[in-house]
Structure 1
Amino acid sequence: MKILYALQGTGNGHIARANELIPKFKQVAEVDVFVSGNNTQLPLDGFYKQNKGLSLFYSKKGGLDYKKIVVKNSLTQFSRAILNFPIQEYDLIINDYEPITAYAAKWHGKKIIGLSHQAAIFYENVPKPPGKHPVSKLIFKKYAPTDISYGFHFQKYHDDIFYPILRQQIKQLQTVTGSYFLVYLPSFNDVVLQKILTQIPEVHWLIFSPFKKNPERYLNVSFYPIDQELFFKKLAAAQGVLCGAGFEFPAEVLYLKKMLYVIPIKGQFEQYCNYAALTKMGVSGSEDLNVSKIRNWIDSQKIITVDFEDESEKIIEKVFINNPL
């Protein structure tokens, strides 16, 4: 069997999950890997093909930059990529919210299975943000359509939803509780983060920033460029983490039994859904960088206990055994 594993290259979560799942898929099938989008800081292991696809870009204050999204994405190039993709070479397409192969498969009538966090969002029992969000929901649903979908989420809201796929580096970390807090908010400009977090001088903040090339420090705020090895080292000894309301990284923080505070990216429906799910679990957060709320979180010392079972074998069974060609 020859399968295509296609994934979205916007954000680090898809890459982190792919690095864990692809070796498992290669044990049962021949696998080609395709990535669209180029807005990530994590490397994808092994050989893969890449297309510019459709990428998201962020403003300086934690929201989507719609002007940059329009300017830097080409619908002509995107449509050409769909029409020219050699989708008929594959017996099965596994899709982690990747639009080019999703629409190419639909065009040619090829079987496509969604395997993503986004697939879990619309299950009935999954928490949703207040309000209808009709435009965001429509875009979210139409972005990468599939025939069958299995999802990942923080809790087992349905039999077809799996626990998060954790990186081996996370599972192997030897953790301690240090005196600093780690920050990963790449949708915020460094100047904004510095301005807000220096207002909480009793805490030492370690910010990993995609905008820095060298370490810098200003008062109680230290900046580091993205470095995976250093990131894991600092994460292992952090007292808590301030980050976006994504999926994989908040799941890893919960697994490590660290304090967690999340801020959803403005205008991104998925992150609002994650924020709703996490706060329902008791995780602290706010929809902006709120100094008083962050200080209350620090004082609370609250840690949410989770138990993320390794469901790798169940995923293989669902994808390959329950869906014969």
Structure 2
Amino acid sequence: MRIAYYIQGEGSGHVFRSLPVIRHLQQSHQVRLIANNKAYKVLTNLGYQVAKINGSSLAYNNNKMNYIKTLINFLESSPEILKMVFSKELKDLAKFNPDLIISDFEPTGFYLGNFLRIPVIAIDNINLITQCKNFEYPIKYLLHFLMAKLITKTWSPSANYYYVPSFIKLKTKKNVELIEPIIREEILKLSPIDQGHILVYLSSKTPHLLELLKKYPQKEFYVFGYDREYTEENLHFRKYGDGFTKLFESASAVIANGGFSFISEAIYLKKPIYSIPIAKHFEQLLNALNLEKMGYGNWSRKANESDLIKFINNLDYYRKNLGEFQRRDNSSFWQSLDNKLLELKQQKERFSYFPQLYKR
């Protein structure tokens, strides 16, 4: 099959989740990669051929999610994106003539697939907000949920089938399959140990947290996310690279924001997690709530000494709960995906003018 794979470039989670899927698909299919922002940079640095597209991004203000600004960004960028999409990208897509589109929360793939009646598969955890029914959250976050649902529906409007990675069991809508989190091969190969240090991985800079960590000189903290390398008291700042995986493998615990992919990998490695979700970011909040519910760690709306002490003092409790987690590889998902690809290929329907819309 010819598969066009669109990847959202906001943060690292989308591209790191997509990498194992891309490698699996390339064993049997022709795969054209289309990405924006960080996803484009990561893939090209790894040697992949990638078509670059413009993309809207989530908006933040003082480490807080700004839903209104995010929607405005999307609307403001839409004319330029549409101009690019319905010229260069549409022409390139016609030349490739895909049997199917896969999108990890990249709007272009969804809109083109729906417009051209090319089957679309969505693979991303954020669609849990729109495609699952019984997740729980405090009522005070209702407005955040409604705004997140609106943005998710805008960026991911419609697909023939949804794969929603999740570490909790939920009821789903029709044409939705809840799957185990997709784990990178690099993580699957690790043999986790505990060498006493704590790994800090921040997509959003949190100076207040760093000051709190200095109050524990008996603990060594390796901090990623500041793109620099130096040591300040018990804080060892490192740039993301090969050293990250080794420090992750040997960490006693981890501290992070609320990104799904990193939390999933930490659970797989059975590392207790202290989560500080980006404020007003409902998806990250939901990840943190589920993390605490499972007993794998705790979380704070804002880093504070009380919650940090609770986390450090209860590491053995979190490890005990994580010890009951059954580690699995991605094989069951590969089987389901392969079957779904064949099914959708047989059902594909296109407008008569595509791909003849452009001469090859």
Partner of 1:221: 235
Partner of 1:103: 111
Aligned with 1:125: secondary structure? Answer: coil
Q: How does 1:129-208 map to 2 (within 5 A)?
A: 129-130=138-139, 131-133=141-143, 134-148=146-160, 149-158=162-171, 160-189=177-206, 191-208=207-224
C-alpha distance in 2, partners of 1:95/1:267? 25
Partner of 1:77: 80
Q: Larger helix proportion, structure 1 or 2? A: 2
Q: How does 1:237-248 map to 2 (within 5 A)?
A: 237-248=250-261
C-alpha distance in 2, partners of 1:233/1:271? 25
Q: Larger strand proportion, structure 1 or 2? A: 1
Aligned with 2:148: secondary structure? Answer: helix
Is 1:15–2:28 an aligned residue pair? no
Is 1:114–2:115 an aligned residue pair? no
- Deviation for aligned residue 1:103: 1.6
- Deviation for aligned residue 1:81: 2.9
Residue identity opposite 2:158 in structure 1: T
C-alpha distance in 1, partners of 2:177/2:135? 12
- Deviation for aligned residue 1:4: 0.6
CA contact (8 A) 1:7 1:95 kept: yes
- Deviation for aligned residue 1:300: 0.7
CA contact (8 A) 1:8 1:98 kept: yes
Q: Structure 2 unaligned segments of length 5 or more: list them.
A: 349-360
Partner of 1:35: 35
CA contact (8 A) 2:14 2:39 kept: no
Q: Structure 1 unaligned segments of length 5 or more: list them.
A: none
| Aligned with 1:300 (options 314, 323, 332) | 314
CA contact (8 A) 1:25 1:316 kept: no
Partner of 1:126: 135
The TM-score, its normalising length taken from structure 2, stands at: 0.80
C-alpha distance in 1, partners of 2:40/2:98? 27
CA contact (8 A) 1:12 1:40 kept: no
C-alpha distance in 1, partners of 2:67/2:142? 21
CA RMSD of aligned residues (A): 2.6
Change in 2 beyond 3 A, CA 1:296/1:202 = farther
Q: How many residues align?
A: 320
Aligned with 1:6: secondary structure? Answer: strand
Residue identity opposite 1:77 in structure 2: E
Larger radius of gyration: 2
C-alpha distance in 1, partners of 2:265/2:18? 15
Change in 2 beyond 3 A, CA 1:28/1:7 = same
Change in 2 beyond 3 A, CA 1:67/1:150 = closer
Residue identity opposite 1:173 in structure 2: L
- Deviation for aligned residue 1:90: 1.7
Aligned with 1:212: secondary structure? Answer: coil
Q: Summarize deviations over 1:99-156 as a string: whole Å, max 9, x none.
A: 1221222233332121111223331133445332222221122212222212111134
Partner of 2:304: 290
Change in 2 beyond 3 A, CA 1:64/1:220 = same
CA contact (8 A) 1:185 1:243 kept: yes
- Deviation for aligned residue 1:35: 0.8
Residue identity opposite 2:192 in structure 1: T
Change in 2 beyond 3 A, CA 1:43/1:36 = closer
Partner of 1:252: 265
- Deviation for aligned residue 1:261: 1.2
CA contact (8 A) 1:3 1:30 kept: yes
| Aligned with 1:234 (options 242, 247, 271) | 247
Partner of 1:312: 333
C-alpha distance in 2, partners of 1:41/1:212? 16
Q: Summarize deviations over 1:160-194 as a string: whole Å, max 9, x none.
A: 111011111111123221121110112124x4442
Partner of 2:2: 2
- Deviation for aligned residue 1:48: 1.3
Aligned with 1:23: secondary structure? Answer: helix
Residue identity opposite 1:174 in structure 2: S
